[in-house]
Amino acid sequence: MRTLGFFGLGAMGSGMAANLSRAGFTVLGWDLSDAARTAHREKGGTIAEPSSIFGQAEAIVASLPSSDAFVRFCRETALPSCRPGLLIINTGTVSPPSIRELAEQFAGCGASLIDAPVTGGVGGAAEGNLRFFLSGQPKACDQARALLEAMGDPRFLQYCGAAGAGQVVKGVNQLAMGLINAALIESVAFGVNAGIEPGLLAELVGGDQGWRRLLRGVCEQAGAGTAGTLGVKAGQYPYFLEEAEARGFRLPITEALNRFLADKDACIQEANRMSPSYWNELVSR
């Protein structure tokens, strides 16, 4: 397997595609952005039209910015173009029920959907040390391992189970980061709204280890006027709430935070999408 298609050459995808090129794969890329396509060429990749990519590639990698974008890509482009033996590898965060449904549809035409969301950020994508949460048919996942290792750290390329399991593990990752941030932001906002200076909170409640170090960081950003840029992964809560509903369990904290932020202005860039600022909503009320 040496010829790959790559859809989504943005902040994450550009670095991942470049590492595949450096590893000796022929990477046929596509992105809606002219600048992204130009950057891909400059890093050793080739730009091709989607129809040409599906005609040549043995595997397709998608790094798209949202669950809706990936589902739309599959329904409008990948499924109509799929053929027996083709691997479709998703590296983005997508609702687990959507992944399970799409996996069945690809299996119906003899192709395999590999669910492999990543964590590690833009730096990890550029440096090739991403963590992949790998799920899908075991044989297909084994076939994709070499190309995934070109983009990530083999120590953290672990099989999680059937299609959708990778997204559940990614959900644990995202909710842990987001809800911890939300708790810290709300705690500091409580003190600031009640008249306590962020610097004093940092000195008296912050510290050098554990949660006190994290809280001190939020206090310092509040003092510098940059706490509004802190994210809580709000744009992805609906994906994980959809899975909880499908499985018949509750996520009360996530539900409450999702309701609070649902109609708020999306003003900060987080996880390749615009999201509300929890800090701004708390301190401006």
Of the candidates 269, 263, 259, 260, the one whose C-alpha atom is nearest the C-alpha of residue 233 is 269
Range 243-281 burial, b when 16+ CB lie within 10 A, else e:
beeeeeeebeebeebbeebeeeeeebebbbbebbbbbbb
The answer to whether 130 touches 118, Cβ cutoff 8 Å, is yes
Q: Exactly one of 43, 139, 170, 264 is catalytic; name it.
A: 170
Helix 237-247, helix 252-261: angle, nearest 10: 140
Question: Rounded distance, CA 267 to CA 280, Å?
Answer: 10
Catalytic residue list contains 170: yes
Angle, CA 74 vertex, CA 130 and CA 149 arms, to 5°: 20
Q: Which residues form the catalytic set? A: 170
